[in-house]
Amino acid sequence: MFVIKTNSPDETYTFGENVAKLLKSGDILCLAGDLGAGKTLLSQGIAAGLKVTEGVSSPTFTVLNVYEGVAGSGQELSIYHFDLYRLEHPAELADIGFDHYLGAGGIAIIEWPDKFPEFLPTERLWLTMKTGECPSERILCLTAEGTRYVELCEELKQVADSCY
Ligand SMILES: Nc1ncnc2c1ncn2[C@@H]1O[C@H](COP(=O)(O)OP(=O)(O)OP(=O)(O)O)[C@@H](O)[C@H]1O
Ligand SMILES: [Mg+2]
């Protein structure tokens, strides 16, 4: 596990761009944190880092937005940006094809993953955001589940050390 702090929306966005450079096909990122914690802003930074050109908005009402992007390796892939906030029953996950998209070889970003903890893949990068001491500060706590994500977390630590 490791923790990084950002001092402004811009820093969170830039951290997202840095995360994106390390992502690969099949990666799953769970973004937890209260309303307004910065999950969508971080997702926008990640999408920008994956060279997504269309506008990335909050999928709160649509539950899922799909974007086309390019990974650091140059591979073209889809980004599945979920927001589970409005879902109430696990059956709704099946309705939106949650498992299908997670196994489709793109990159999945899941806001409000804690709504359905038992229906998430067990291997994932889990990131929790909270507001720090001042209103523009955010504490990002990253935890890896599974070998791929332990490796990703190590790489991210190095990026974070060199940026902040
Ligand atoms: N350091 C920071 N990092 C991220 N956002 C910040 C920071 N400081 C202030 N903010 C503000 O916090 C808000 C974060 O909004 P955002 O929509 O990303 O939150 P969210 O976690 O996706 O919320 P929701 O659960 O409603 O989807 C933005 O208005 C942003 O400008
Ligand atoms: Mg959001």
Task: State in Å: Cα 129 to ligand 1 middle.
Answer: 9
Task: State in Å: Cα 10 to ligand 1 middle.
Answer: 11
pTM for this model (two decimals): 0.96
For residue 78, the surrounding DSSP H or E stretch is strand 76-83
Choosing from 11, 13, 41 the residue with most ligand 1 atoms within 8 A of its CB, the one to mutate for a pocket test is 41
Give the residue, by CA position, lying nearest to ligand 1 atom 1: 8
* End-to-end alpha carbon distance in the chain: 17
| Nearest ligand to the C-alpha atom of residue 16 | 1
Task: State in Å: Cα 77 to ligand 1 middle.
Answer: 26
Distance CA 54, CA 84 (A): 22
| Nearest ligand to the C-alpha atom of residue 130 | 1
The answer for residues whose C-beta is within 8 angstroms of residue 128's C-beta and 6 or more apart is 32, 33, 140, 141, 143
Question: Given this model, what pLDDT does residue 156 score?
Answer: 93
Task: State in Å: Cα 40 to ligand 1 middle.
Answer: 7
Q: Where are the alpha helices (DSSP H) in 96-146?
A: 98-102
Residue 161 scores a pLDDT above 80: no
- pLDDT tens profile 77-103: 999 999 999 999 999 999 999 999 999
- pLDDT tens profile 1-37: 899 999 999 999 999 999 999 999 999 999 999 999 9
Ligand 1: residues with CB < 6 A are 6, 8-9, 11-12, 33, 35-41, 58, 60, 111, 136-138
Task: State in Å: Cα 39 to ligand 1 middle.
Answer: 6
- pLDDT tens profile 61-79: 889 999 999 999 999 999 9
Closest CA to 64 of 38, 88, 87, 34: 87
156: number of Cβ within 10 Å: 23
Distance CA 146, CA 31 (A): 17
Question: Given this model, what pLDDT does residue 63 score?
Answer: 94
**Phi, psi (deg, nearest 5) at residue 92:** -70, -25
- Residue ranges and CATH numbers for the domains of the chain are 2-163 (3.40.50.300)
